[in-house]
Every structure is written in structure tokens, then in C-alpha cells.
Structure 1
């Protein structure tokens, strides 16, 4: 094969799109290895879905939550309670046979209600009473004594900042390590908040109850071993397991990839590389909870406590220990510890296998290569069907591993990778189609309007003769006095062309800005329409707005030209424009021959719009509209009825109107007087009250508004003089027949 032919062969047989897809396949593999937060979030939300779909089924109830609930707070008082009251709680739970008692709370300061403090702060006490109070044991000592007589695990908290130096004399849980140094993989808290010294020495164990939600606020994984202010600490739940098992130490197994598991005598719990446990959630279970007040009042059923791991925590909203989990939006933090204990003791834990990422890579590679190789060969329906089958297989396999083996296998990475490759191939196909459309635009742009060319590029099948009936609003506009203006440019044709462009450009912009379509330019005239080719439910309103905008643009142009004429010392001739608007059913579409088309419109409504534009100079108003247009916009503009005319070539007469301004003009007193004078004059005219009509005209000429109606008055006065000499026939309906088109 010749070297010069290699690019053509490559493009034909392989294609640059496939090469790009291979690069994407490699890029997604690198992205999965890096595992940034957004990628991880997609994956864990998929695992959330599995937990909601198939939550853990409870096969045993080894845990009871003694709840500091709203009922108990109401009976006992606000938290924290006196340590003597908590000591009573420990004593009663121990009497009922609790296996281990653990606190999802920390007691970092001495009790504020200690007797010695009362002796120093209470007023009006005699010295004998103060001495008796000081002789009593502190509440903390009473609490510690209750702890010594039971198996109690105290809760501790990780803090966001370093606290006072740790007391090295306080007891800590023994740790043994197998494999790599695990501390570098652990979650770290800058500070550690511990209990008072007397309580720490009395407890059988101590663990961190701190639960750190993930980026989206959901608790999915809970660290089982952590670093807090440099101290390696077990979690509260795993410390409960250690104390319950009577084990002296915790064995941490690690490898180069991270922490593998935590073990105690006869038990091992798998974790992820950071020492976290994926919590296998069951539905929220109110039956786990026993109010503290029921225990203190000795009304709790003994079987709820005997032989159970007892967690003391709170569900009270005011104590702010409510978490969001994959199965619940308002689970108390203490129940998350209970769920960990339940799943660990019943063997119902979930985990991500070490080989999981290898399965993900293999799946992404296999399906990615299949799509690259075969997707361009299939039609869209086949591709959609195969894509659906592929997605179903991935999701089904992942769900199978979760439901049957409690393994978390991610399907989102191979699905995203393959979908990105598929979309890239689709996009490359789209680019090729766009290139074809560009060729069509280049071939037909010089023959057709831009809008039609774009329609043709998007849908070439529209390149046929024919049209459709639509209700449309048609506009004709024309420059007044063009002949006299052009005579001043008879020796300067370029100047006349520049003036016309300067005149037509703002008018065109006004039409286009109001959703109009320019049909054609006819010298100094413009034909435009609304509601085609695109639908416009407000076509009458937009057309009238465009007409008023055109007048404003012409005024601005005249001001600029007048200043230019003054500066150059030449006479100034103002430009004026007349506009006719009419609404009705028209035929619109591709009009022309087999060789050349034009998107245009025709019909009686078009003809009437043209006639109305021609009459604007006769009535003295620059914008004249037909009755359907006027009725559609009568609440938005200053509408003035002008005449009832019979257009040449039509059998039905038409009421015509002038648009004198927008709504602000319509509400003005001047326009109201103008309209009342016109209504009075027309009423007399159409009832053959010639004297009344002439009298109304005479009164009108004496008002401030006379100048606005001068041409209209002259027109009607001339008609009335004619009718006085030659009265109209008996069946005359008030219509006036226009003699010219």
C-alpha cells in the first residue's frame, strides 16, 4: 500500500472516530484509577439504590437502644442529667441482665450538680449543711462506682481541632497489628474529646461514636478504627464487640492497598482500605427503642434488656443526633451503631471485594471494544436495543452479586465508559450530517431566503412545490415621496443606494426583532408576514409593535439626517413611511417553478394589506390595519376607526382602523377626545345626517386635535359635498368603494 493512500485507507476502514473512542476507553480507565469524588459519588449512590431495593432482613435482635427521648426529657428534665440519675440507670440495666452497656455520648466535664459545688454556690446555707454537702461523694464518683459494677463502654468524640494534651495515664484499648502500618490509611481527627478521668478508669472500654457523613451528607460507611489527636481508637460499636467477647486486644490486618479487617477473639470484620465498614442497613426499627424513663420507673419488659447489648443514646430532635442513611432520612445516630452491631453479629455484612475493580476494568474494556468495532455497522433501532440489553446485563449482574452474595460490584464505570464511546460515535455521525447540510446551504443560499435554506438543510424533503393555509398577519410598507427624494440624487446613484440601505436596515431590524419574516423588498417597499414559517400565537400584536417600532426608527433617522443636512448646508427632505397591516387566512409555502423556489404568501388578505398601505397617505395616518388585526389588539393600542370601504376586486366591505400609538396613548385624554370626535362624525355620516357630520367636522377643527384629523376631515367633507349633490342609493350601507388598487 502506498504511503499517500494510507490516510484514506485508515479513514475508510477504521475512521478517526474509532481512534478517538480508543483514547476515551484509556481515559476512563485512568479516571477510574484516580477515582475523583464525582465518580465515587455516582458509584455509592448506586449502592444506595441496592440497599433501598433489598435492605437487610433481621434474623436476630441482639441490641436494645435505651432512648433519651422527648418523653424522658419531659419527665426528668433537660440534658445533661445529674450523674447520679445516670448511675441509677446503669444500676437498673445491670440488674436486668444487660450484657454490655454503651454510651453514645461523652462526659468530658465534672457534673455541674456535684454536692461540693452546691455547697459553694447555694445561698443561705448554714456551715453545718455546707460541711455535710462537701462530705458527700461527687456525682461523678457515684456514676463511676455504678460503671465498675457493670460492663460499660464509654463514648468518646473526634474533634475538628486539637484539644488539650492527652492524659497519658488514661487507659486505652490494646491493639495488635499484622501486615503494613495501618495508621497511614485511617481517618484522622485533629482532636480527641474524652470523659473525665474518674469515669475513664472505671469503664470496661471506650470507643469513638463520631459518625462522619460523606460529601452528600449520607452515612454509608463508618470507620471501625481511627486516629484522633494521634491516638489510635476503635469505634464505639467495635469496642462493644470487644468487651462483649472478653477480648483484651484488637487485631488490625493491613496490606499494601490498605486495611483489610479488624479482629477480636473468634471474630473478624472486613473493612475497606480506610478501615471503614459498609453498613448493611435494615429498615428503621422503632421496636429497638426503650425510653429511659421506663427503665428508671421499672416498667420495661425484662427480655428487652437481659442478655442484650444496650446502647444509650437519643432520638430527641432537639439534641441534634439525626442522620441520613440510604434507607432513611431521619435515623438517630445511635441506631446506626445498633445496625452495625446487628449486621456484624448476624454475619449480614456487605463489602467491596478486592477483585471488584478488576471485574469493572475487564467489563469496560470488553464492551467498549465491541461498541467501537460493531456500532457503526448497525442501524439506530438495533443499537438502542443492544444498548438496552447491555445496560440491563450490567445492572442485573451487579444486583445479583449484592442480593445473593452481599458484594458491592460497581456497574456505573463500565456503563459510563461504554455510553461515552457510543455517544462519541453518534456525535461523529452528527458532524458528518452537518457537513452535508453545510454543502446544501452553500449550494442553495444564493437562490433562497436564509430561513428556507436552513429549513432545507434540516429537512431536505421540504424541497417541493406547494403550501399550506394559515392565519397570518401581512405587512406592506412604503416610503412616502420617494420620487421627489430620488430626483435629488439623480447625479449620485451611490448616494441613493446608501440612503435606501440606511432606510431599509432599521425597518428590517424592527420586523425581525418582532418575529416577522421578510418576504421581499420592492424598491423602497417591504413585504413581511407573521406566523410562518414558525408559529406565533401573538402575530397580530407583534406585527403592530413592529409597525410602531418602524415609525420610531424613521424618526431617529430623520433627526440624524436633518443634523447632517444642516452641517453640510444642503436642504433636508424628511423620510416618511406608510404601513398597511391585515390579518386573515393565506396560503404560504414554497412558491415558484421546478428550478427556483421562494418562500412566500398570497391570498385576499395579502391584497388587502397592500391596499391599506396605499391608503395611509389619504387618511393622514401612517399605520392602517384591517378589522381582524384591530380586534385582536384593541386592548393594547390606541385604535381609531377610519372608514368602511369596498376594495376593488372584493365583494365584502371592510372596516379599517388607524393605530395611533401604544396603550399609554390610548389612555390619554387627547386620544379619547380624538376618538369621540371621529365616532360622532362617522355616526352622522353613516346615517346620512350630512349636516350633523359637517357640524362634527367643524367642531373638531376648532379643537387642539384638529391637525391630527385634518386629512380625514378633508376626505369626509369632500365626500359629503358630493353626496349632497348626488345622494347615495337607498340601499347604501355606508361603505365607500375605492377606485384604485
Structure 2
């Protein structure tokens, strides 16, 4: 209790995100970002757990582009549809057919209507015409032919419910599956519509059942659910998928499923499920607060999605399928043709066929694989928030940073695991975003408070380190101060020397204060680049800056970081020159030398002044390489040891040199570009240059001239090539030297 009392303010600030999360969960202060995040989590989990296998029970007869091209534009003549229905039941022996289309208008394509008008007007006295019309009436009445094909067969016709200003109604609705009295006065939030577009009465009477094919579009424009039962004019109608499923299992009655758990009070007015009852058999289908179910998508969708077999409608009308190919299949007739506007945005695809959403629901009902967000999800969310939020609020202030991280990660992992288990084992889609964001925010606030208010001793330690170590690395060192020491040690590091050129001429034309301001501005810009790439600034020497990588904070990629820094510094100088040109200031140049090797690093100096620096032969070589940049006409010279550790760059070898104080020759290189960004012409130039160096070291001067000519043809104009052209010309005058190793000797620093 004493610890809690000491940290009460830290506990209080950690409770702030819990309060906001609870207000969101209870609907007092809905937070749109959390709602959207919950949708994203659900979509990602759904995609990750989809079977992505074909369901052999369900087949989609597709009025596709091929069918429209072969049969003609939609709508087709009802005689052709009657023939397709006969084909499905007589030759293919399917179990059931559902239409994800509506037949709201009479089919007058046969001309029968006009013939009847003529029989009543200009040809009413033509006995032969009247007699022939009587004979043809049966074959020309396409709606009657379609109705006859539906009678006595397991067919479900689709229709749509709608809401508009006028509440328009057309066609004949099927009988409702449930009445208001069955709800026992409970105010269930059914999805409700005031109008509909249904099938012709003649067809609705012939078909044994009908179901609406409406879906629910969420606020982000995505279809995730379908209402199983919806309300219109005080009566309750079933969806196309539910109607087909009921017909398949023997037409059980539909009843509301109220909670029967003894822990649920009698005052609870919600609906838990839709119950299909047949004798003593009961099947409860869980639904959400809108009496809807989430679509259990099987895969990406479409004819190539791998979830359902698609059959082109034209193959049926043309009787091209072998007899019995679809025996005992559940058939849905719909369309994927873009022009017929039955494509939806879903969690698994942005152009998902509407007919396949119903196929997924039927498949899920048949397999018992259904998902729902129950209306008690609010209570679950509140309980989860309270338990996890209070645990974090009272535990985090008492724990070290490392343990606090582990506890927070553990809480988040438990939240994920519980949510995933409920989804996979019970088909329950529970909210997760509020708990995750609350846990993350509680941790962030707790750690921030601990840092800014309770970490004075650490900041004092940081100030002490800051007298030796560059500020940009202090924050990282403070995390584990015991791991760092200022004692000298030998380490493999990468050192950089960068010399500004042109300041001597500027000093003759500018006032000292102006030159100082200019030099400070340039160094500030270059220092920022070094710091951004985790480099340690060693010292400034006139118009030269020295830096190194790999200490005091160890880093495996110290060489690549140094090369990247050098390239960015060179580009920055070019940008500075463009700015100077606009101001009339002469341009400046840059020479950079990089070397990787073993160096002595530590706190060195006198009792009066000390600095954290590097010394050794490897450092001296880096300084020599900086001086060679001017000789070879490049701004960056890199040693072979550094080049080997930076394979992500394309390199041009400059030479093998023997600098003052070193007997062994070293290779020197220039970074041309990132390896992935090298164009074909530059790659060809590097290959030609490599061939030149090979000939140069073999003292094959004719071949050298050839390769230099090839470089000219490639349009490559560099001072480097002019330098070697002069060398070749002078070397021709000398006899062949078998002892020459191809290296260039430099006796000056």
C-alpha cells in the first residue's frame, strides 16, 4: 500500500485511457478510429482464417460476360430461363435453385401482348387469326412457361427490400416467416425497410418460396453481414440464403431465440438467435443486435477465387454440360458481369460478386461455420477493459522498465489469444481495438511519466555521459549505462575525414565574420547528416570534420552507415552550391576519406581537456584517403576493408595505392550508387572500367587504349579516365616490368 500511495499520481494518469475506452465501449463517447480499427482487425483475421478451399455442395450459375455475348443482353426471355430451370432439374438433377435476380416486369418479348391487342382491334373479325392466336398463346406466354417450370420444384425466388421517400412497392411478396406477436413485445432492432421490389404475382405464386437478397453496408462502404430476418410493415421476412437453407432441411418454422441462461435477467430484451424448429428438433442460428449474421467468406471470390464452382449460364442454356454434372448441388443463379451492377466491396475483395455472399452464408449454415457479433459484446468489452486496465494501472508503476514491457506485452497477448479463441471456437466476433489501444496508451503514459518525473537520476547520469559522448547517442546509452565505459579499447570501427575545399579562396573575398557564418552553416548541415546516420563527431579541424561509427554504441553496420553518410554529405554540398550560386557565392568542394579497421577508442587527453576519440594506423589511413580524393577527381575515396562490409553499393575501383608510412598497397574505391539503383549504362561503364584496370595491371597498353575508347563511346567523361590516359601514355615509354604490382606510390601526406 505504501508503494501504491507513493505512485498514486502515476496510477491516476495510467487510468485516463481506461476511462476513455469505457466511455467508448458504452456508447457515451464513440471514437470513430477505434470502430474503424475493430473493422480492420476483423477483416485481417477473417482473411487469415478463411478455408480458401472449394465447397463442392454449392454451385453458382453465372450470367457472365460470355453468357451475355452468346445469349444477348439481360433480361433474357423467360422461355429461355424456363429451359434453364428444366435443364437444371431434369438433366442435371440439382437439389435446389435460388435466384439472386428479381423478375419484376412482364416479359413481352414474344409479341403476344401486341397480338392480343390486334385481336381486339383491327383483326377482331379475322376468324383465322383468332383461331391461330388461341393455338399460339400457350407457347408465346413466356411468363406462364417460366411459372410452369417453377411449379412443384425446390426453387427460391429472390427480391429486394428498399427504403425511399415514397415507400414504393411492386410485385408480390412471399409469406412472412414470423409475426410481431412472436416477439412478445420485445423491441428488437430488426433491419427495417418500407418498400420492396418483388417478383410478378404469377411467378411468386408458382415458386414455393422467396427471400430478399439485401446485404448490410457498413459505414466504411464494406459489406460484412447479411440480415437473416428483416422487418417490413410489421411482418418479418427471411433472406435468400435462409430461405434456401430452410428448404434444404425440410422447411422448419422460424422462431425468435431468447436467452435462456439463468444468469441473464428477465429484464433483458435482446434477441440471441433465430431458431429453426421442426417437431422436437431445434437449430439456433446466432444473430447480432440487427438480427444479422457476418458473412463467413471462404476465399477471394469470383470464378477464379477457389471457393465455389462457377458455371456459365450459356453452358446450361446450350446444354453443353454432361448430364448429371450438377447432381444434388445447391445452385444459385446470379451475375458477375460488371454491367449488371451486382459487385460489392467486401473484406476479401473490392469487386466481390453479390451472389457469392449468399453462397457463403448457405455454405456456412450447412457446415455450422457462422460468425456473429452478439449484442452482449458491449458487456464483454467493458469487463475486459476493467480487468486489463486496472491490472496495468496498479502494476506498471511498481515494475522496472523491462518487466513493465513484458507485463504489457503479456496483457496484449492474452487479449489477442482470448479474442482469437472466441472467434475460432465459438464464432464470436468480439471488440478488441479499444482494449489494445487502452493497453498501449496506458503503457506509453506510464513510461513517459516515469521518464519525465521519476528519472532525474538517469538524466543526471546522461549529463555526465554527455561531457564525453556526443548527445545524439546519449539516449541510447542511458537505457543500459552499465554497458558503457570511457576506458580505451581496441575495436573495429569506420572513420571518416571530410575536408571542405574552396574556403581558402573564399577567405580572400569575404569578411571573417561572413566566412565564419558560412562555414558554420555548412558544418551544421553536414553534422546533421552524420548524426542522422548514428555517427559520432570526433572533432572539427579548421575546414575539416572527423567522425567515426561503431563506438561508443556498437553497430554491426558501421561501414554501410558511413558510406551512406558520405554520399548524403556529397549530395548536400551540391545542394549548398546551388543555393550559393543564386547568391553569387563561389562553389565549394568536398573530399571524403573512409577506412574500416581496428582502432583505439576512448576518453583521451589531458587533465585540462579530454575528448572521446580514435587513434591508430587505420585512422591515419582514413586521413590519407581523404587527401587522395583530389588526385583521382572524386569526392569520396573508400578503402577496400570498408568496401567489403558495404555490399549494398555499386563500387568503382580507383587504384591500388601505397601511402606514406605504409609498405603494403591497399585498394581504393568510389561508391557510385546503391546497387539496386544502378542503371544499365552505369553498369556497363563499370564493367568496361574493370576490364581496363585488368589490362593496366597486365601492362597491356594497347588493350588499355581500346577500353578507354569504349568508355568514350559510352559517353563516360571523368577526370579519372583522363588521369589514366596520361599514365598509359607515359608507361608506354617504359620497358615491361615483371615486378610491378600495379600500385601507385604516394610519398606525401
Structure-1 separation of matches of 2:600 and 2:38: 56
Residue 601, structure 1, aligned to residue 614, structure 2: yes
Q: How does 1:107-126 map to 2 (within 5 A)?
A: 107-116=103-112
Match of 2:333 in 1: 313
Give the alignment's TM-score, normalised by structure 1.
0.62
Match of 2:388 in 1: 367
Deviates more, 1:366-375 or 1:9-18: 9-18
Cα distance change of structure 1 residues 281 and 233 upon mapping to structure 2, 3 Å threshold: same
Preserved CA contact (<8 Å) 2:158 2:240:
yes
Q: CA deviation at 1:208?
A: 0.7
Preserved CA contact (<8 Å) 1:220 1:325:
yes
Preserved CA contact (<8 Å) 2:294 2:372:
yes
Preserved CA contact (<8 Å) 1:281 1:339:
no
Question: Match for 1:342 among 338, 357, 366?
Answer: 366
Structure-1 separation of matches of 2:319 and 2:436: 53
Deviates more, 1:134-143 or 1:14-23: 134-143
Q: CA deviation at 1:543?
A: 5.7
Structure-2 separation of matches of 1:585 and 1:94: 82
Preserved CA contact (<8 Å) 1:470 1:586:
yes
Cα distance change of structure 1 residues 575 and 258 upon mapping to structure 2, 3 Å threshold: closer
Structure-2 separation of matches of 1:507 and 1:521: 12
Match of 2:692 in 1: none
Question: Match for 1:520 among 511, 514, 539?
Answer: 539
Preserved CA contact (<8 Å) 2:593 2:638:
no
Match of 2:143 in 1: 140
Question: Match for 1:537 among 552, 560, 573?
Answer: 560
Structure-2 separation of matches of 1:541 and 1:47: 39
Structure-1 separation of matches of 2:640 and 2:268: 81
Q: CA deviation at 1:259?
A: 5.1
Match of 2:78 in 1: 83
Q: CA deviation at 1:140?
A: 0.9
Partner-residue secondary structure (3-state), 1:136: helix
CA displacement, residues 55-76 of structure 1 (integer Å, 9 cap, x when unaligned) = 99x9xx9x87684688995999
Match of 2:516 in 1: 501
Preserved CA contact (<8 Å) 1:52 1:326:
no
Preserved CA contact (<8 Å) 1:473 1:540:
no
Residue 236, structure 1, aligned to residue 232, structure 2: no
Structure-1 separation of matches of 2:627 and 2:578: 20
Q: CA deviation at 1:177?
A: 0.9
Deviates more, 1:197-206 or 1:319-328: 319-328
Structure-2 separation of matches of 1:316 and 1:578: 64
Deviates more, 1:13-22 or 1:464-473: 464-473
Partner-residue secondary structure (3-state), 1:108: coil
Match of 2:26 in 1: 33
Partner-residue secondary structure (3-state), 1:599: strand
Match of 1:421 in 2: 442
CA displacement, residues 392-422 of structure 1 (integer Å, 9 cap, x when unaligned) = 6656656666677666566665565445434
Q: Highest Rg: 1 or 2?
A: 1
Cα distance change of structure 1 residues 250 and 579 upon mapping to structure 2, 3 Å threshold: closer
Q: How does 1:609-628 map to 2 (within 5 A)?
A: none
Q: How does 1:16-31 map to 2 (within 5 A)?
A: 16-31=9-24
Preserved CA contact (<8 Å) 1:282 1:327:
no
Question: Match for 1:103 among 95, 99, 104?
Answer: 99
Partner-residue secondary structure (3-state), 2:539: strand
CA displacement, residues 356-411 of structure 1 (integer Å, 9 cap, x when unaligned) = 54344234323332332234444567666666765666566566666776665666
Cα distance change of structure 1 residues 402 and 129 upon mapping to structure 2, 3 Å threshold: same
Q: CA deviation at 1:156?
A: 0.4
Structure-2 separation of matches of 1:303 and 1:669: 77
Question: Match for 2:191 among 156, 169, 187?
Answer: 187
Preserved CA contact (<8 Å) 1:162 1:192:
no
Structure-1 separation of matches of 2:365 and 2:519: 82
Partner-residue secondary structure (3-state), 1:141: helix
Partner-residue secondary structure (3-state), 2:12: helix
Preserved CA contact (<8 Å) 2:59 2:309:
no
Cα distance change of structure 1 residues 190 and 592 upon mapping to structure 2, 3 Å threshold: farther
Cα distance change of structure 1 residues 359 and 504 upon mapping to structure 2, 3 Å threshold: closer
Cα distance change of structure 1 residues 554 and 181 upon mapping to structure 2, 3 Å threshold: same
Match of 1:208 in 2: 212
Question: Match for 2:288 among 240, 251, 272?
Answer: 272
CA displacement, residues 332-367 of structure 1 (integer Å, 9 cap, x when unaligned) = 345235336636xx8x86655555543442343233
Question: Match for 1:466 among 488, 496, 516?
Answer: 488
Residue 199, structure 1, aligned to residue 199, structure 2: no
Residue 155, structure 1, aligned to residue 175, structure 2: no
Give the alignment's TM-score, normalised by structure 2.
0.61
Partner-residue secondary structure (3-state), 2:104: coil
Q: CA deviation at 1:19?
A: 0.8
Preserved CA contact (<8 Å) 1:465 1:591:
yes
Residue 225, structure 1, aligned to residue 229, structure 2: yes
Partner-residue secondary structure (3-state), 1:591: strand
Q: How does 1:576-587 map to 2 (within 5 A)?
A: 585=597, 587=599
Partner-residue secondary structure (3-state), 1:502: helix
Q: CA deviation at 1:505?
A: 1.9
Q: What are the ranges of 5 or more consecutive residues in structure 2 without an aligned counterpart?
A: 118-122, 260-266, 300-305, 674-681, 683-710, 736-742
Partner-residue secondary structure (3-state), 1:273: coil
Preserved CA contact (<8 Å) 1:472 1:530:
yes
Preserved CA contact (<8 Å) 1:158 1:190:
yes
- With a CA cutoff of 8 Å and minimum separation of 6, indicate the structure with the bigger relative contact order: 2
Partner-residue secondary structure (3-state), 1:155: strand
Q: CA deviation at 1:221?
A: 3.2
Structure-1 separation of matches of 2:582 and 2:245: 92
Cα distance change of structure 1 residues 144 and 327 upon mapping to structure 2, 3 Å threshold: same
Partner-residue secondary structure (3-state), 2:169: coil
Residue 589, structure 1, aligned to residue 601, structure 2: yes
Preserved CA contact (<8 Å) 2:659 2:747:
yes
CA displacement, residues 12-38 of structure 1 (integer Å, 9 cap, x when unaligned) = 623433112222222212222236532
Structure-2 separation of matches of 1:466 and 1:373: 44
Q: CA deviation at 1:80?
A: 4.7
Preserved CA contact (<8 Å) 1:464 1:590:
yes
Deviates more, 1:669-678 or 1:138-147: 669-678
Preserved CA contact (<8 Å) 2:94 2:328:
no
Cα distance change of structure 1 residues 340 and 540 upon mapping to structure 2, 3 Å threshold: closer
Match of 2:740 in 1: none
Preserved CA contact (<8 Å) 1:69 1:292:
no
Preserved CA contact (<8 Å) 1:583 1:628:
yes
Q: CA deviation at 1:106?
A: 1.1
Deviates more, 1:39-48 or 1:95-104: 95-104
